[in-house]
């Protein structure tokens, strides 16, 4: 099956979401690389941690408890976390102010070590993320999964998106699109599938001038439940 053009994808999103103006209002843009590089490394660790705890849990509860996470883990100060002994880490995992999950708490120090290792190579983690090429964003996903802790699946990509890095997301709707178009078969997480998806987005990005973030959302708007359209209709 021949891949759809950007114009077809955009037109379908507009038809389902209330027109061009409505679609544009729903699209978020990524940060520029220079903006990404200016984010302190502790904020990268904080967002990675937030997404680890939100995985398989109610996001709202994690957000409600987040000020306590910041307090308990010293604002995600990387040096302090790396000096924390095992017994202190285990005690923090039992603190009722946070979500008590030992393995996820353990990942905080392991991801702090990943960031520290990048720093030891002469750059901040922010610079590392900011300079990573978007035409190989799956490579950055793979790096986080291999060198970090509990950052596989959509956890790492969601953290990157929240931080402002230009990335597509393999949501259920986006995956459904690629299956319907016969671009992938089998596991969406396989190396073959991810390379095919990256290639599709790279070609669409080149032809449209849109970011991966915008293109990912446009694909999702064209499939799945049409919740946004329902809200628009109710306001009329």
**pLDDT score for 173:** 93
Exposure string for 72-108, b = 16+ CB within 10 A, e = fewer: bbeebebeebeebeeeebeebbeeeebbeeeebbbbb
**pLDDT score for 228:** 46
CA distances from 145 to 120, 139, 223 (A): 19, 10, 28
**pLDDT score for 12:** 96
CA distances from 92 to 2, 142, 155 (A): 53, 29, 22
pLDDT tens digits for range 29-80? 999 999 999 999 999 999 999 999 999 999 999 999 999 999 999 999 999 9
Domain with CATH 1.10.340.30 in the chain: 34-163
What token pair was written down for 161?
């998106």
DSSP assignment of 49-63 = HHHHHHTTS-HHHHH
Q: How open is the CA angle 54-139-170, to the nearest 5 degrees?
A: 45
Q: Can you list the residues of the chain whose pLDDT is less than 70?
A: 1, 225-236
**Model pTM score:** 0.92
**pLDDT score for 111:** 98
CATH number for region 34-163: 1.10.340.30
């Amino acid at each position: 099956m021949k891949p759809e053009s950007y114009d077809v994808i955009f037109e379908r999103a507009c038809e389902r979401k209330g027109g061009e103006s409505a679609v544009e209002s729903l699209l978020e843009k990524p940060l520029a690389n220079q903006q990404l590089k200016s984010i302190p490394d502790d904020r990268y660790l904080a967002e990675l941690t937030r997404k680890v705890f939100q995985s398989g849990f109610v996001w709202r509860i994690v957000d409600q408890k987040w000020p306590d996470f910041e307090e308990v883990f010293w604002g995600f100060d990387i040096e302090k976390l790396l000096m924390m002994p095992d017994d202190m880490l285990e005690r923090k995992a039992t603190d009722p102010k946070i979500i008590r999950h030992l393995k996820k708490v353990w990942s905080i120090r392991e991801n702090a070590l990943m960031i520290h290792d990048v720093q030891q190579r002469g750059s901040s983690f922010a610079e590392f993320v900011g300079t990573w090429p978007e035409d190989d964003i799956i490579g950055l996903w793979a790096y986080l999964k291999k060198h970090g802790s509990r950052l596989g699946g959509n956890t790492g990509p969601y953290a990157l998106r929240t931080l402002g890095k230009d990335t597509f997301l393999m949501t259920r709707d986006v995956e459904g699109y690629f299956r319907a178009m016969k671009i992938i078969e089998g596991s969406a997480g396989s190396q073959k599938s991810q390379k095919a998806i990256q290639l599709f987005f790279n070609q669409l990005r080149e032809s449209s001038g849109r970011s991966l973030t915008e293109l990912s959302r446009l694909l999702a708007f064209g499939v799945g439940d049409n919740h946004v359209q329902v809200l628009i209709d109710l306001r009329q």
